[in-house]
């Protein structure tokens, strides 16, 4: 089957991909390729909200300052300023599409929440399921746009290149086999890499596909070592890695160890509202110090009506496992949550490969630096996807020659399962919240062994789960290589064998050997 041509190809259907698609559709036909259903994305699982300086006591300058502090000196200042200045307009645009955000009782102003690392209440939200509401509104808008074609269960296996330029992609269709598409531009909006780890808040689709696609064609990848672990995910066998939003601590929730003590006093003067990297390492340290399997999030001092109004989804889910947050402490542990690094882009979403753009979690825009400020992720996806769509007007259409689809090596699903489980164990043990030189070296060797094993296994019919394994191995190498090269502790990268970076010394050691 010859390649089908569209003006633009969007790979992924979260907020970044669908924002880009809606704006790009004004210039020509767009196809959205998504590996599962349209709604299935990291966006759908975002609880907290979207940061924007829209309150009377707030300003973009304060939002900028908080973002730079969280990023521990490694943010790109130009990218941060662009992000925070565009934030209020981004919220209004989402609202114009029908996204319903919570308002104050007078129904005129947004109800603004507080989260760790922010100096003001600036989190625009829809109770505790903001991502779901945003994805709902985006799905409805995209399905109404006649210039957008949606192809679900479409797993992209390769980017097509011609004379150093990206001209399209090849994909595995569940029913029709290998198909290809060509275009003037391709955007990666494939989300994160959470499935590198045993414990993650990410959905099953977060298998680093975009990073691997970009790496295979030589695109620049950077900062993958900055892997954010959310401090508070539910510790319960029936609801593994269910996220308890940062907004719970913003509303007054406190952290306690097995002895009942509020331990954040020992780690940071901002207590439970310190940036995520500090809180996650503090929890990790308390668990190791007391040899326990979790810590506890305490909301029992808050009014039941307040909890139920602000966190209805969390209350309902906890009730299903016999926990009532107005009565019970919630057992929590950190879990992988967000990839701050990824495919390097400029302010217009362009990668180092002509014709290839990236936006959302797959991209490294420079906004997050060494640590993402809470609720900047949905904002980043939206702002930079719109910038990328605007930059499309400067992309000329290449004269496309006949091109080979290639043949992505696949293996049996059983072999892929074994490789993926070994990879998850390796990354969790050696490339997690606290790292060591010896562990990083062991992880590097193990990933090299697994990569060679994958290559040496017999060819099998194309299988999505198997090709995801290869994608995860490529991403894992980037994470490990970055962690080994990063010879100073900063933000989310903490190697217990290195001295702590100046300006980031906690009150007490948070990484006991």
Give one DSSP letter per residue of 165-205, joined into a string: EEEEEEEEETTTEEEEEEEEEEEE-----GGGSSSBSS-TT
Nearest to 212 by CA among 372, 378, 35, 366: 35
Place of tokens 């490990």: 480
d(CA 193, CA 199) in angstroms, rounded, equals 12
Sorted by where each begins, the domain ranges of the chain are 4-46+126-225+340-394, 231-335, 409-513
Q: Which pLDDT belongs to residue 504?
A: 45
d(CA 377, CA 374) in angstroms, rounded, equals 7
User: The domain 409-513 is classified under which CATH number: 3.30.420.40, 1.20.58.100, 1.20.1050.10, 3.40.50.1000?
Assistant: 1.20.58.100
Write the burial class of residue 120 (CB in 10 Å: 0-12 exposed, 13-18 middle, 19+ buried): middle
d(CA 501, CA 494) in angstroms, rounded, equals 10
Q: Which pLDDT belongs to residue 374?
A: 87
Please answer whether residues 24 and 112 qualify as being in contact, where contact means their C-beta atoms are separated by less than 8 angstroms.
Answer: no
88-145 per-position pLDDT tens digit? 999 999 999 999 999 876 656 888 988 888 999 999 999 888 989 999 999 999 999 9
d(CA 444, CA 65) in angstroms, rounded, equals 36
179 is catalytic: no
Q: How many CA atoms, within 13 angstroms, populate the side-chain half-sphere of residue 102?
A: 19
Would you state the CATH architecture of domain 231-335? Alpha-Beta Complex (3.90)
Coil vs helix vs strand at 183: strand
Q: Which of 276, 435, 446, 486 is catalytic?
A: 276
Can you list the residues of the chain whose pLDDT is less than 70? 105-108, 240, 404-406, 499-513
Q: Which pLDDT belongs to residue 305?
A: 95
Q: 113: part of which helix (H) or strand (E)? A: strand 112-113
How far is C-alpha 364 from the chain's CA centre? 11
Would you state the CATH architecture of domain 4-46+126-225+340-394? 3-Layer(bba) Sandwich (3.50)
Q: Which pLDDT belongs to residue 398?
A: 80
Query: How many C-beta atoms surround the C-beta of residue 136 within 10 A?
Result: 17
Same topology, domains 4-46+126-225+340-394 and 409-513? Answer is no
Q: Which pLDDT belongs to residue 47?
A: 77
Listed in sequence order, the residues at least 6 apart from 481 whose beta carbon sits closer than 8 Å to its beta carbon are 224, 444
């Amino acid at each position: 089957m010859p390649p089908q041509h569209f003006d633009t190809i969007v790979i992924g259907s979260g907020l970044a991909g669908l924002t880009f698609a809606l704006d790009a559709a004004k210039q020509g036909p767009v196809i959205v390729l998504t590996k599962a259903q349209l709604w299935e994305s990291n966006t759908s699982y975002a609880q907290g909200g979207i940061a924007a300086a829209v309150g009377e006591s707030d300003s973009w300058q304060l939002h900028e300052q908080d973002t730079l502090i969280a990023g521990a000196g490694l943010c790109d200042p130009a990218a941060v300023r662009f992000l925070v200045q565009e934030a209020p307009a981004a919220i209004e645009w989402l609202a114009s599409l029908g996204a319903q955000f919570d308002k104050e009782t007078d129904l005129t102003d947004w109800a603004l929440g507080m989260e760790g690392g922010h100096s003001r209440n600036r989190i625009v939200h829809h109770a505790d399921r903001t991502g779901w509401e945003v994805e709902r509104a985006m799905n409805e808008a995209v399905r109404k746009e006649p210039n957008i074609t949606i192809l679900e269960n479409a797993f992209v296996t390769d980017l097509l290149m011609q004379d150093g330029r990206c001209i399209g992609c090849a994909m595995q269709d569940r029913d029709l086999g290998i198909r290809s598409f060509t275009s003037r531009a391709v955007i990666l909006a494939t989300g994160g890499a959470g499935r590198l780890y045993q414990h993650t808040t990410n959905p099953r689709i977060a298998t680093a596909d975009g990073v691997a696609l970009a790496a295979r064609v030589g695109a620049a990848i950077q900062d993958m070592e900055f892997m954010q672990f959310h401090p508070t995910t539910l510790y319960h066998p029936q609801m593994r890695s269910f996220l308890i939003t940062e907004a719970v601590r913003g509303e007054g929730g406190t952290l306690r160890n097995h002895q009942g003590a509020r331990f954040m006093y020992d780690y940071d003067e901002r207590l439970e509202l310190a940036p995520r990297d500090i809180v996650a390492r503090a929890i990790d340290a308390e668990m190791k110090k007391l040899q326990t399997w979790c810590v506890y999030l305490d909301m029992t001092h808050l009014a039941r009506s307040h909890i139920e109004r602000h966190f209805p989804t969390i209350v309902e889910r906890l009730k299903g496992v016999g926990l009532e947050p107005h009565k019970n402490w919630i057992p929590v542990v950190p879990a992988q949550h967000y990839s701050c690094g990824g495919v390097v882009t400029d302010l217009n979403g362009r990668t180092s490969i002509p014709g290839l753009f990236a936006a959302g979690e797959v991209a490294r825009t420079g906004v997050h630096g060494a640590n993402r400020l809470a609720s900047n992720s949905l904002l980043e996806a939206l702002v930079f996807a719109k910038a990328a769509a605007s930059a499309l007007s400067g992309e000329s259409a290449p004269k496309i020659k006949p091109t080979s689809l290639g043949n992505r090596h696949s293996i049996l699903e059983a072999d892929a399962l074994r490789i993926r489980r070994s990879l998850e164990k390796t990354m969790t043990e050696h490339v997690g919240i606290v790292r060591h030189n010896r562990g990083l070296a062991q992880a590097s060797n193990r990933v090299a062994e697994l990569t060679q094993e994958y290559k040496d296994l017999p060819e099998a019919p194309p299988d999505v789960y198997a090709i995801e394994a290869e994608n995860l191995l490529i991403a894992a190498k980037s994470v490990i290589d970055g962690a080994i090269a990063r010879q100073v502790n900063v933000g989310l990268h903490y190697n217990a064998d290195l001295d702590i970076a100046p300006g980031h010394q906690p009150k007490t050691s948070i990484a006991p050997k």
